Amino acid sequence: MISEKLQNAINEQIVAEMWSSNLYLSMSFYFAKEGYEGFAHWMRAQSQEEMDHALQLADYLIKRGGAAKVDKVDVVPTGWGSPLEVFEAVYKHECHVSELIDKLVDVASAERDKASQDFLWGFVREQVEEEATAQGIVDKIRLGGDAALYHIDAELGKRQ
């Protein structure tokens, strides 16, 4: 059985993951409108990945005897700047999500819930990858400038 404190913290993370999903979907729509089909595709895939995280957290809660909840998901921004500015926002957001996951691990640790700690470490490892990926895209855009956007857009459009 999962503690009420940890259940509440995981439910908060579910909402945060759903917000992230909506954020990336908003970015996808923006890129599609601006003609960056590869960036739009990458963001749509990222949106789905974030929703998958929410579902994984919900499934885990249910397996542990808890109750998964869908709470209010706040509105996400809809206006974006250059591709560099968008991906800088992605990197900043992924760093924020990493902090949220770290705090969630701390709650599991304080509750002495080793199973939850183990489960959540998978999210910690994934966040390291997501931060690195976002930073890598920012670096490529900075290095290549506007001239490289076509190639980076095409590269990101190949995401599975």
Per-residue pLDDT tens over the stretch 68-92: 999 999 999 998 999 999 999 999 9
Token digits for 28? 């996808």
Looking at residue 97, its pLDDT comes to 97
Confidence at residue 40, expressed as pLDDT on a 0 to 100 scale:
97
How far apart are the C-alpha atoms of 84 and 149, rounded to whole Å? Answer: 9
Contact 107, 9 (CB under 8 A): yes
| 51 membership: H or E segment, kind and range | helix 37-63
On the CB side of 138, CA atoms within 13 Å amount to: 15
Q: What is the mean predicted confidence (pLDDT) over 112-119?
A: 97
Distance CA 101, CA 29 (A): 27
pLDDT tens, position by position, 116-150:
999 999 999 999 999 999 999 999 999 999 889 99
Residue ranges with strand state E in 20-142: none
**Unique residue bearing structure tokens 């290095």:** 143
Long-range interactions of 62-65: CB distance < 8 A, separation 24+: 64/1, 64/2, 64/115, 64/116, 65/1, 65/2
Rounded mean pLDDT of the chain? Answer: 96
Q: Which two tokens stand for residue 7?
A: 């259940």
160 pLDDT higher than 90: no
Query: Residue 69, class by beta-carbon neighbours within 10 Å (0-12 exposed, 13-18 middle, 19+ buried)?
Result: middle
Residues in the chain: 160
Q: Which domains does the chain have, with CATH numbers?
A: 4-156 (1.20.1260.10)
Q: Is the pLDDT of residue 35 over 90?
A: yes
